[in-house]
Amino acid sequence: MQRMNAATARRIALAAQGFGKRRPANPNRRAVLDVVARTRLLQLDSVSAVVRAHYAPVFSRIGPYDRALLEQAAWSDSPRARRGLVEYWAHEAALIPVADWPLLRWRMAEYRHGRWSGMRKVVERNPTLGKDILDVVTEVGASSAGEIERHLELDKPRPKGTWWNLSDTKMVCEQLFAAGELSIARRAGFTRQYDLTERVVPADVLDREIGEDDAVRELLRRSSRALGIGTETDLRDYYRLNRRQSAPAIADLVDAGELLPVEVTGWDAPAYLHPEASTPRRITGAALLCPFDPLIFFRPRTQRIFDFHYRIEIYTPEPKRVHGYYVFPFLLDGVLVGRVDLRAERGSGRLLAPGAFAEPGYATAETAHALRGALREMADWLELDEVVVGERGDLAPLL
């Protein structure tokens, strides 16, 4: 078994995710899609405290770019620019390359009655609503759940006890999306516009049938390439697989020489190296990482690789928050050296940083200088005029 130290494993992981590369001078659509070709997915999330989660990882890797390039790749399709990305449940809700859609058919089969019991109950009490929704979408094209509801002329009370207060129509639209019968053609704001999958996913992709075992092995190949090196839990979490699926598939990939068993000093579990992963001598550059960046969204891996304890505190009552509401870890030359609580105040044109905190040993002028530059770059990208630093944290006075 190959052995390596933790610093080498960290550089492999960073390089696999696209860090340490020279940024393109003028990022175009190809540069944006190249990021997703490395990460294989961009997690979607509704929080817009700074910028929606799917935009931020691209910025972290290639710098300021036109967000419309990502929107067009995901939510528009024309003969000149075919759809490059599609939404589905990968690592939570995510944008994935269109070509990867068939790899998740087995999950669509599992979700044919909905992703969770509450959704199944809605389907059971509305046995014809799914067909009615499909009929509306077939006739009128891509529509939001509210538009579909109006076409159906429904005026039913929303179910009680659900914090998001979704209507039955919205719930069944989500069930049909999870089952692969509807896809997301576009978004208006952040509202999903559902359409028949056959109108969203190209016919040659839609016609591909891949059995669960083969699909799981291929998903693990993709997660391995995206991670560079990882434990069994790292590899399966990337696409939210379960151990029943991942353990035999990893064994097959090891036998085939497509995963190389590795022992990493200080890691608490055996690791697997992608045979084509690069091992740079050093990683340079600065990047702010949103909470849902693929580099850090699996918190045990973040702790293992960077010795960086990170938890999102959105749902923690404000008096109990340690670092803040929406905190970006700060990557500098291959190390997570700090974190900063951020908020985009668009009405006043300000990027607010109420708190900035250094990891042990990094409360230095050098860290503050690099973070100041990264904050200014983010503000410019978001078209905000001013960066306002608060008083919380040991990096705040240095900033």
Q: Which two tokens stand for residue 249?
A: 């598939």
**What does the alpha-carbon distance between residue 317 and residue 119 come to, in Å, rounded to a whole number?**
29
Q: What is the pLDDT of residue 124?
A: 83
Count of helix runs (H) and strand runs (E) in the chain: 16, 14
The structure's pTM equals 0.94
Q: Which two tokens stand for residue 128?
A: 């014809």
Q: What is the C-alpha radius of gyration for the chain, rounded to an integer number of angstroms?
A: 22
Q: What is the pLDDT of residue 118?
A: 80
Q: Which of 399, 377, 380, 398 is nearest to 388 (CA)?
A: 399
Q: What is the pLDDT of residue 1?
A: 83
CA angle 319, 324, 330 (to 5 degrees): 155
Per the CB < 8 A criterion, the answer to whether 340 and 46 are in contact is: no
Q: What is the pLDDT of residue 156?
A: 56
Q: What is the pLDDT of residue 82?
A: 93
pLDDT digits (tens, 9 = 90+) for 173-187: 999 999 999 999 999
Which residue ranges in the chain fall short of pLDDT 70?
A: 154-166
Share of the chain above pLDDT 90, in %: 90
Instruction: Put residue 396 in one of left, alpha, beta given phi > 0 → left and psi -120 to 50 → alpha.
Output: alpha
Q: What is the pLDDT of residue 163?
A: 40
**What does the alpha-carbon distance between residue 123 and residue 155 come to, in Å, rounded to a whole number?**
17
Per the CB < 8 A criterion, the answer to whether 336 and 359 are in contact is: yes
Q: DSSP string of 250-315?
A: HHHHHHTTSSEEEEETT-SS-EEE-TT----S----EEE--TT-TTTSSHHHHHHHH-------TT
Q: Which of 207, 204, 234 is nearest to 222 (CA)?
A: 234
Q: What is the pLDDT of residue 233?
A: 98
Q: What is the pLDDT of residue 162?
A: 44
Length of the chain: 399
Q: DSSP string of 145-170?
A: HHHHHHHHT---PPPTT-TT---HHH
Per the CB < 8 A criterion, the answer to whether 185 and 200 are in contact is: yes
Half-sphere exposure of 351 (CA within 13 A, CB side): 21
Which residues fall within 8 angstroms of residue 111, CB to CB, at 6 or more apart? 89, 175, 178, 179, 180
**What does the alpha-carbon distance between residue 87 and residue 151 come to, in Å, rounded to a whole number?**
25
pLDDT digits (tens, 9 = 90+) for 338-394: 999 999 999 999 999 999 999 999 999 999 999 999 999 999 999 999 999 999 999
